[in-house]
């Protein structure tokens, strides 16, 4: 197994001449050699790739079947010294029955043969005219004699203890069945499924096909590698586009360009750790596995790979998104932002309906978090038909408040048509310093937190006075890092941003600005440096306290947060991935130091999360102690940072 538990897989679509086995085998050999040179451990070809899917009644010709046998022998000899395990499609006669099969080959040996189970016989498909279903071989393993060898025939799971994969196979229509064979295979332990397919092209079919593969890989918590017949199949009545795609637990890792007229191969690295983590965590998967155990008889066939397959930052073939909370596609971004915003609004609306309160109280700082909270409040009041003037925002200038943020609070309130009040906290804080005997010249955590708690006290008291809840503004990133003052900005009656990470906050505000309004002030707020503004300004009135200068960039911490919580990822592997994601932006030493900061702060600040306010969950990462994240407040982080290098 590689150090970081990745398995490199590929899907290949070769050039083809229908019924010309010798030509087709030569093309397959070239692609297997290319895959082996690129350290691909598992490679799949399309359905009936040795002959072509569209041979029709030629499948009854003994000449074609003989050519297939010779072609397989040629494949075996040509790839005897290659370590890539690959599957090709071929018609195989077994006990005087013709099957549409996947033939698995590794290091010059046929490891097993699996017949297609579900044969389409509708519309343009006539598989049953030529082939027999492999349904009788689902619950048993038979053996076929080929080339002087005894080869297993039926359901097999190909297992490599060295690389950590368990491979299951299905053929084209098998995936379209109500209960695909792959569903049973994953319950028997398979974590990678390959599909040898011949899927013709129709208007809109590409999206249906993508969604089908994506959904199956998500339901089965597996990797799914799909390769379909290409443009060189017969076009008498149909056109084949040669689609191939590599999916992992519902996510597309790689796909090719259809209608390619040359040999093409796509490659990506599958993260076995991610699949294992989610299967362990998902008790529905475990229960289903227990309930259905024994319903199929997938025999285990062990594969001995010779290569080391060492995958690291430099060799990893996988696109690592440095902002995993943020969709890459603009269309997806718009849809995602609207969905998130609606969830936030629906959560707050329900809380106000339940309490019967017609007002809310909100601290408005001129920063992005409180801005997003104000936008959510505005939309909620519009939804409920409440007067926006009952959104009571308070700006509370302190020792570090800048003119820019101060002015933007009023501009935003005016744009939204909400109430804004100003309460200067400096005198109250000076009195408090005097009361507790704190030297004002010492700008320490006491100096900062006095201001944060003074603001919260004002908000809480106004909440009683106005009979409306305090709306929390803190975000998910701050909760993870504990970058909030305990019983200060940490506390509210309802926290609308509690599962929104910092990297996503700005996109939500940008989406609101473009699609709803207040564009000028919102873009200026987005351009403002992130700061709690608790330390005095410099001589020119500029902010001196930058959060990211103190703890590291939020884009990096959000990367850590996502992988640490979503996948339970080990720090060593997390460091490898973050170096890959932020290549040339930060040094490895910087990223390592920030990772240590993240881990220490995450562990040491669990006590704040253990008593966090209610708030809506909007994504897969949430730190509510009542839901997604339950952790002792006094857990020790030592072993998590001990092996980071």
Q: What is the pLDDT of residues 210-231, one digit of tens each?
A: 999 999 999 999 999 999 999 9
- Cα separation, 63 vs 68, whole angstroms: 9
Judged against a pLDDT cut of 60, whether residue 95 lies above it is answered with yes
**DSSP track, 514-545:** HHTS-HHHHHHHHTSPP----S---TTS----
Domain 6-302 CATH assignment equals 3.60.110.10: yes
Task: Render 173-232 in DSSP notation, one character per residue.
Answer: GGGGSSS-HHHHHHHTT--EEEEEE--B--TTHHHHHHHHHHHHHHHTTSEEEEEE--TT
Say which range, 27-31, 136-140, 189-193, has the weakest mean pLDDT: 136-140
Higher confidence at residue 314 or residue 296? 314
pLDDT confidence of residue 328: 82
Active site residue 172: yes
Return the pLDDT at 542.
75
* pLDDT score of 538: 77
pLDDT on residue 298: 65
Higher pLDDT, residue 572 or 291:
572
**CA separation (Å) from 108 to 73, 83, 111?**
9, 9, 9
Q: Across residues 35-47, what is the average pLDDT? A: 98
Percent of the chain with pLDDT over 70: 98
List the catalytic residue out of 116, 185, 359, 506.
116
CB proximity list for 153: less than 8 A, separation 6 or greater: 94, 112, 113, 114, 115, 137, 141, 142, 143, 144
Tens of pLDDT, residues 115-126: 999 999 988 899
- What does the pLDDT average to over 616-622? 94
Angle of the 519-526 helix axis to the 403-416 helix axis, nearest 10 = 150
Q: Report the pLDDT averaged over residues 354-375.
A: 97
How would residue 417 be classed by pLDDT, with cut points 50, 70 and 90? very high
Q: Work out the burial of residue 643: count CB atoms within 10 Å of its CB; fewer than 13 is exposed, 13-18 middle, 19 or more buried.
A: exposed
CATH code of the region 330-642: 3.40.50.620
pLDDT for the residue numbered 465 = 97
Res. 353 pLDDT band, cuts 50 70 90: very high
Q: Give the pLDDT of residue 293.
A: 60
Catalytic residue from among 172, 222, 498, 622: 172
DSSP β-bridge partners for residue 226: 195, 245
Assess contact for 282 and 221: CB atoms under 8 A: yes
pLDDT grade for 62, boundaries at 50, 70 and 90: very high
State pLDDT tens for residues 233-264. Answer: 988 889 999 999 999 999 999 999 999 999 99
Residue 614, classed as helix, strand or coil, is coil
Strand order in the sheet with 165-171: 251-255, 244-248, 223-228, 192-197, 165-171, 156-160, 299-302
pLDDT of 565 strictly over 90: yes
Confidence tier at 543 by pLDDT (50, 70, 90): confident
* Whether residue 138 has pLDDT greater than 90: no
In this predicted structure, what is the pLDDT of residue 124? 87
Q: Give me the pLDDT at residue 68, please.
A: 98
Based on the residue annotation, tell me whether 116 is a catalytic residue of this protein: yes
- Of 393, 11, 512, nearest to 225 by C-alpha is 11
pLDDT recorded at residue 98: 98
- Would you state the pLDDT for residue 294? 52
Q: What pLDDT score was predicted for residue 195?
A: 98
159 with 166: CB under 8 angstroms? yes
Which spans in 313-402 are helix H?
330-355, 368-384
Q: In what order do the strands lie in the sheet with 6-13?
A: 141-146, 149-154, 109-115, 97-106, 85-94, 42-44, 6-13, 264-271
Task: Find the distance separating the first CA and the last CA of the chain, reported in whole Å.
Answer: 20
Same fold, 6-302 and 330-642: no
Say which residues have a Cβ less than 8 Å from residue 440's Cβ, sequence separation at least 6: 430, 433, 447
Range 459-472 average pLDDT: 98
> Which of the following is catalytic: 27, 47, 201, 478?
47
Please give the pLDDT value at position 297.
59
* Residue 611 structure tokens: 């008593």
Provide the percentage of residues in the chain whose pLDDT is more than 90: 86
Q: Is the pLDDT of residue 400 over 60?
A: yes
If phi > 0 it is left, if psi is from -120 to 50 it is alpha, else beta; for residue 9 that is: beta
pLDDT of residue 450: 95
Instruction: Please tell me the predicted confidence (pLDDT) of residue 487.
Output: 93
Q: Does pLDDT of 533 surpass 80? A: no
CA distance 606 to 604: 6
Tell whether the model's pLDDT for residue 330 goes beyond 70.
yes
Number of other CB atoms surrounding residue 280 within 10 Å: 12
| Rounded Cα gap, residues 480 and 486, in angstroms | 13
pLDDT at residue 1 greater than cutoff 80: no
Instruction: Give tens-digit pLDDT for 168-182.
Output: 999 999 999 999 999
pLDDT band (50, 70, 90) for residue 545: confident
Q: Considering the chain, what is the average pLDDT of its residues?
A: 94
Q: Mean of the pLDDT values across residues 153-181?
A: 95
In this prediction, residue 3 carries a pLDDT of 83
3-state SS assignment for residue 632 = coil
Mean pLDDT of 365-390: 97
pLDDT at 531 (0 to 100): 80
Q: What is the pLDDT, as a whole number, of residue 405?
A: 93
pLDDT at 277 over 70: yes
pTM, entire model: 0.92
What residue segments make up the domains of the chain, in order of their start?
A: 6-302, 330-642
> At residue 412, does pLDDT exceed 80?
yes
């Amino acid at each position: 197994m590689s150090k970081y538990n990745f398995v490199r897989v590929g899907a290949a679509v070769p050039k083809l001449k229908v019924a010309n086995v010798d030509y087709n085998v030569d093309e397959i050999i070239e692609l297997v050699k290319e895959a082996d040179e690129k350290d691909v451990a598992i490679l799949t070809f399309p359905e009936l790739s040795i002959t072509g899917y569209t041979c029709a009644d030629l499948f009854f010709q003994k000449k074609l079947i003989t050519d297939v046998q010779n072609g397989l022998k040629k494949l075996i000899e040509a790839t005897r010294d290659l370590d890539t395990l690959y599957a090709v499609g071929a018609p195989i006669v077994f006990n005087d029955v013709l099957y549409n099969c996947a033939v698995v080959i590794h290091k010059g040996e046929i490891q097993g043969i699996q017949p297609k189970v579900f044969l389409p016989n509708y519309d343009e498909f006539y598989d049953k005219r030529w082939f027999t279903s492999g349904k009788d071989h689902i619950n048993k393993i038979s053996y076929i004699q080929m080339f002087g060898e005894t080869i297993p025939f039926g359901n097999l799971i190909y297992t490599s203890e060295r690389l950590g994969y368990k491979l299951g196979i299905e053929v084209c229509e098998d995936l379209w069945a109500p209960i695909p064979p792959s569903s049973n295979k994953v319950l028997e332990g398979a974590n990678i499924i390959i599909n040898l397919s011949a899927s013709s092209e129709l208007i809109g079919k590409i999206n249906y096909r993508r969604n089908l593969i994506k959904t199956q890989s998500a339901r089965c918590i597996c990797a799914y590698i799909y390769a379909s017949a290409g443009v060189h199949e017969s076009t008498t009545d149909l056109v084949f586009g040669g689609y191939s795609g590599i999916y992992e637990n519902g996510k597309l890792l790689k796909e090719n360009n259809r209608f390619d007229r040359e040999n093409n191969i796509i490659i990506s690295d599958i993260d076995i750790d991610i699949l294992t983590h989610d299967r362990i965590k998902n008790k529905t998967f475990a229960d289903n596995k227990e309930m259905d155990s024994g319903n199929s008889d997938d025999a285990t066939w062990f594969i001995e790979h010779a290569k080391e397959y060492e995958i690291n930052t430099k060799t990893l073939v996988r696109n690592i998104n440095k902002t995993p909370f943020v969709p890459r596609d603009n269309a997806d971004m718009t849809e995602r932002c609207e969905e998130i915003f609606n969830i936030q609004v629906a959560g707050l609306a329900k809380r106000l309906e339940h309490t019967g309160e017609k007002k809310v109280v909100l601290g408005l700082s001129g920063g992005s978090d409180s801005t997003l909270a104000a936008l959510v409040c505005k939309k909620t009041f519009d939804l409920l038909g409440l007067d926006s003037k009952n959104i009571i925002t308070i700006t509370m200038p302190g020792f570090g408040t800048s003119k820019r943020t101060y002015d933007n609070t009023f501009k935003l309130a005016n744009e939204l048509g909400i109430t804004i009040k100003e309460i200067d906290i400096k005198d109250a804080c000076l009195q408090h310093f005097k009361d507790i005997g704190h030297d004002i010249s010492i700008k320490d955590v006491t100096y900062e937190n006095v201001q944060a708690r003074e603001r919260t006290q004002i908000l809480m008291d106004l909440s009683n006075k106005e009979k409306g809840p305090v709306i929390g503004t803190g975000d998910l990133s701050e909760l993870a890092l504990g970058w909030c003052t305990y019983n200060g900005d940490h506390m509210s009656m309802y926290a609308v941003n509690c599962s929104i990470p910092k990297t996503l906050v700005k996109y939500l505000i940008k989406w609101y600005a473009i699609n709803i309004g207040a564009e000028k002030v919102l873009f200026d707020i987005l351009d403002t440096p992130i700061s709690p503004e608790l330390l005095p300004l410099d001589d020119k009135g500029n902010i001196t306290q930058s959060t990211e200068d103190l703890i590291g960039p939020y884009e990096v911490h959000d990367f850590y947060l996502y992988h640490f919580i979503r996948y339970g990822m080990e720090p060593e592997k997390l460091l490898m991935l973050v170096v890959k994601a932020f290549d040339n932006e930060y040094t490895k030493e910087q990223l390592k130091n920030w990772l240590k900061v993240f881990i220490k702060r995450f562990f040491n600040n669990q006590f704040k999360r253990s008593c966090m306010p209610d708030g809506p969950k909007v994504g897969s990462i949430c730190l509510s102690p009542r839901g997604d994240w339950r952790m002792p407040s006094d857990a020790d982080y030592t072993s998590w940072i001990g092996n980071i290098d």
